[in-house]
Amino acid sequence: MLNKYPLWKNLLIVLALVFACIYAAPNLYPPDPAIQVTPARSGAEMSEATLDRVRDTLAEKNIEFFGEEINGSTALFRLTSSENQLKGKDAVQRVLGDEFIVALNLAPTTPDWLLAMGAGPMTLGLDLSGGVHFLMEVDMDDYLKGRMGNYREELRNRLREEDLKYRRIQLDGQTLVVSFVDGEVRSAGESFFSRNYPEFLQDEEDGEYADLRLTIKETQIKEFEDYAIKQNLTTLRNRVNELGVAEPLVQRQGRNRIVVELPGVQDTAEAKKILGKAANLEFRLEAEPGASRFLTEEYGFRNDEYRTARLQKKVITTGDSVTNAQPAFDENGFPQVNIDLDSKGGAMMTQVTRKAVGKRMAVLFVERKPKTTYEMVDGVEVPKTIQVVEKSIISLATIQSTLGNSFRITGLQSAEASELALLLRAGALAAPMYFVEERTVGPSLGKENIEQGVNSVILGLALVLLLMVVYYRVFGLVADVALMANIVILIALMSMIGATLTLPGIAGIVLTVGMAVDANVLIFSRIREELRAGRSPQQAIHEGYNRAFVTIFDANLTTLIVAVILFAVGTGPVKGFAVTLSFGIITSMFTAIVLTRAIINLIYGGRRIDTLSIGGRV
């Protein structure tokens, strides 16, 4: 029978529409503006005293809040107005100091029954929902100081290997001063440095010793800086990927700065903590009793401020040698981190632990982080950020057997294990960084953009709906129903896969509206032609859909190929447009062909008819 879908196909279409409505529904619940308070140190608890300080500060600043939520060590305060977010954040951060991270947040309002079904709102881009803009600066002075220190250690070993006797090697800024025993050895040293270290300029200096000044060239400094920036860019991108942020922007700005934009991010406190943490590991043996204090250092434990241990100054290897790190649990259910080292780090670990079975090895957590202080300038307190380096022991365990490329770190809390694995897996920063600027795109900008974008969609949709009804009558009304369903399905699909909607994405939705109608125009025009050719209404409907399908498929396929290419080679806004367009093509094919055919079949199918309400002169 012509133009009659079987029951199972109709039920399948209805089921698809129901699912689309469910997964598009969370977008009807806008999030509440909020501020989030999180301890700066992992594993720290949120005390009632801290909560009281936050409440008192907000009340003092006349900032209304509600829906106070405590989730583990994180506190969330929902505000009644988005205009008070920045004001509240600054006030609370000033009161709590560096012990806590206070960040802006968007608290979800999606009903629990939708969340239980896995439904959530669509992720909005930085230009719509707002987000965080970080400007980070690489501490090149500290990085170059570290590289020069590495050179000094390397030269000590190389000069001993070459049997070139020296008295000392001193570091003077970007210059190494090598003091040889006499002028003859210095001459041999000059020849050695010329062959092996062309990146240094040599300058003799006579005094108490036969000194040779090795000053690193500007071209080499520039290479070091480029390497540090590139490595930090890679590390930051890895960390952003670990955070699961959609369509982030991580790019270089100027000589030593990096811009990071995180659109649609919910937990800005966690993002700042992960991105800005210049953390690394050092593996050291515990010092023997009675060891010289010049060869040892004493450190406290990360989770026990009253406990300390004395470690050897010599470092076995560092986190730079880690190739993979995964959080896990041991046989007793305690958190641990499984570590894999590269060949160099594994060889050093094997060499040292082979002779240290039965002794204890410490894992030292090295963290460089900003600390805010206030100083008086012209009678006004001005915040000043300084960088501090903190080292603490996170694990001190007995070496049971020789360690190689793979081993595990124990003695951690669950949150610490996950954070440590993330930082090591994403890679260490080549050079320390600090936040120069933290800027949040305000809700007013996002609200204005959303309103303008939605208005453009509504206006274009209204004009198309009106034109279709006037020109194609009942068939036009069916196309209008399919068009509305197309938008719902598109929003549901983007929400389900976590795609990010940006302003260019809204433009893609507007284009999708036009493309969906274009398919129906082709079908309806084909039906009119079949009617003019003398076919019956039922045959005209059947032939109109079948013969127009090839044309519609070809047109949409070529557009889809272009959208895929745009996504592959584009960045940021271009990708947002390509994603929306790609999904729009798929959903419009379903609604314009399958859904309209199902509705037309219900209206005209399975019975004898003489005319079709499709407009035109047939």
3-state secondary structure 435-469: EEEEEECCHHHHHHHHHHHHHHHHHHHHHHHHHHH
Cα dihedral 108, 110, 113, 116 in deg (nearest 10)? -50
- Give 265-288 pLDDT, tens digit per residue: 655 666 666 676 656 778 899 998
Which CATH code fits 141-221? 3.30.1360
Q: Give the 3-state secondary structure of 318-351.
A: EHHHEEEEEEEECCCCCEEEEEEECHHHHHHHHH
Q: How far apart are CA 520 and CA 475, in angstroms?
A: 9
Mean pLDDT calculated for residue range 611-618: 75
Q: What pLDDT score was predicted for residue 270?
A: 62
Q: Two tokens at 159? A: 């000069």
The pLDDT tens digits of the residues spanning 339-391 come to: 888 887 888 888 888 888 888 888 888 876 666 666 777 777 666 666 677 88
453-469 tens-digit pLDDT? 678 778 878 888 898 89
Task: Specify the CATH architecture of the domain 7-26+442-604.
Answer: Up-down Bundle (1.20)
What is the band of 241 on the pLDDT scale with cuts at 50, 70, 90? low
Which residues, in sequence order, are bridge partners of residue 607?
Answer: none
Is 3.30.70.1510 the CATH number for 32-107?
A: yes
Q: Are 139 and 224 in contact (CB under 8 A)?
A: no
Residue type (1 letter), 488 = V
Determine what percent of the chain is predicted with pLDDT higher than 90: 10
- Where residue 42 falls among pLDDT bands split at 50, 70, 90? low
Could you read off the pLDDT of 510-525 as tens digits, one per residue?
A: 888 777 888 888 899 9
If you average pLDDT over residues 282-300, what whole number do you get?
87
Per-residue model confidence as pLDDT tens digits over 46-59: 888 888 889 999 98
Which pLDDT score, from 0 to 100, does residue 578 have? 86
Condensed to tens digits (0 to 9), the pLDDT of residues 115-144 reads 888 888 887 776 666 677 788 888 888 888
Question: Into which CATH architecture does domain 277-411 fall?
Answer: 2-Layer Sandwich (3.30)
- Rounded Cα–Cα distance for residues 453 and 460 (Å): 11
pLDDT at 268: 60
Of the candidates 122, 118, 121, 103, the residue with the CA atom closest to the CA atom of residue 34: 103
Q: Please say if the pLDDT value at position 543 is more than 60.
A: yes
What does the block give as tokens for 51?
């909560």
The helix or strand, by DSSP H or E, that contains position 416, with its residue range, turns out to be helix 414-426
The separation between CA 269 and the C-alpha centre of its own chain, rounded to angstroms, equals 13
Q: Which residues contact 161 (CB under 8 A, 6 or more apart)?
A: none
Q: Per DSSP, which regions of 399-543 are E strands?
A: 406-409, 433-440, 500-501
pLDDT category at 596 given cuts 50, 70, 90 is very high
User: Does the global pTM surpass 0.75?
Assistant: no
Q: Are 214 and 178 in contact (CB under 8 A)?
A: yes
